[in-house]
């Protein structure tokens, strides 16, 4: 499902998308389509980049505005002030985790491609999420682990735990031991970080 479009970047792997609203789409995405730790793909021409939602921001330019406002309904405002735009919205932070190579295979790591402005952002299906996390040996792969811990900073442990929750359902018993080990490691890291604060 198409949920957003890219509006800017903070770095080569940290992008910001604006969630589609009723002005962009007849059927805008529901809240569950763009939540924390949702895996997504960005598509532009032939390149497909994989990312994950790790942050969100609400934008509301009207907050703090003290001047007079049109107080009619949305329909009346469109008649009397057609240039009045609804600028409220939701921005999502997307951290890049990988890409699809020329052979159509998922790869984890830092993609070389740049995601252009207005590129479409889609949710990943469960089958694609599982395929993205399956290594060449057929086992669970999380080669982007250090990417998340470095770039997602304070959100990293919770983000990784959110990913593990999804992978535990998708992989089942096949990777349960690895997932439990990673979960214990992350829980220990959180305990020591909280003590340090």
pLDDT tens-digit readout, 67-120: 555 555 555 555 555 544 557 899 999 999 999 999 999 999 999 999 999 999
Q: What span, in angstroms and rounded, lies between the C-alpha atoms of 14 and 1?
A: 21
8-state DSSP, 171: H
* Inter-residue contact 117 to 151 (CB < 8 Å): no
Q: What span, in angstroms and rounded, lies between the C-alpha atoms of 44 and 27?
A: 22
Q: Taking the complete model, does pTM exceed 0.75, yes or no?
A: yes
* Inter-residue contact 114 to 40 (CB < 8 Å): no
- The contacts of residue 98 (CB under 8 Å, 6+ apart) are 49, 50, 106, 107, 108, 109, 111, 132, 144
Indicate the average pLDDT of the chain.
Answer: 87
Residues 129-137: what's their mean pLDDT? 94
Q: For residue 61, is pLDDT > 80? A: no
Q: What span, in angstroms and rounded, lies between the C-alpha atoms of 119 and 117?
A: 6
pLDDT at 60: 81
pLDDT at 78: 53
């Amino acid at each position: 499902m198409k949920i957003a479009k890219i509006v800017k970047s903070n770095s080569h792997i940290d992008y910001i998308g604006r969630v589609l609203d009723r002005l962009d789409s007849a059927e805008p995405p529901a809240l569950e389509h763009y939540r924390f730790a949702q895996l997504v793909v960005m598509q532009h021409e032939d390149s497909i980049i994989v990312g994950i939602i790790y942050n969100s921001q609400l934008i509301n330019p009207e907050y703090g505005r003290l001047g007079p406002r049109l107080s009619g309904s949305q329909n009346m405002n469109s008649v009397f002030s057609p240039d009045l735009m609804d600028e409220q919205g939701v921005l999502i932070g997307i951290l890049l985790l990988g890409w699809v190579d020329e052979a159509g295979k998922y790869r984890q790591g830092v993609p070389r491609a740049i995601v252009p402005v207005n590129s479409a952002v889609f949710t990943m299906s469960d089958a694609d999420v599982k395929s993205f996390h399956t290594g060449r040996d057929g086992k669970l792969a999380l080669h982007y682990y250090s990417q998340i811990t470095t770039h997602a900073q304070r959100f990293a442990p919770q983000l990784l735990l959110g990913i593990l929750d999804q992978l535990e359902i998708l992989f089942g018993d096949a990777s349960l031991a690895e997932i439990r080990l990673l979960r214990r490691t992350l829980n220990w890291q959180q305990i020591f970080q909280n003590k340090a604060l």
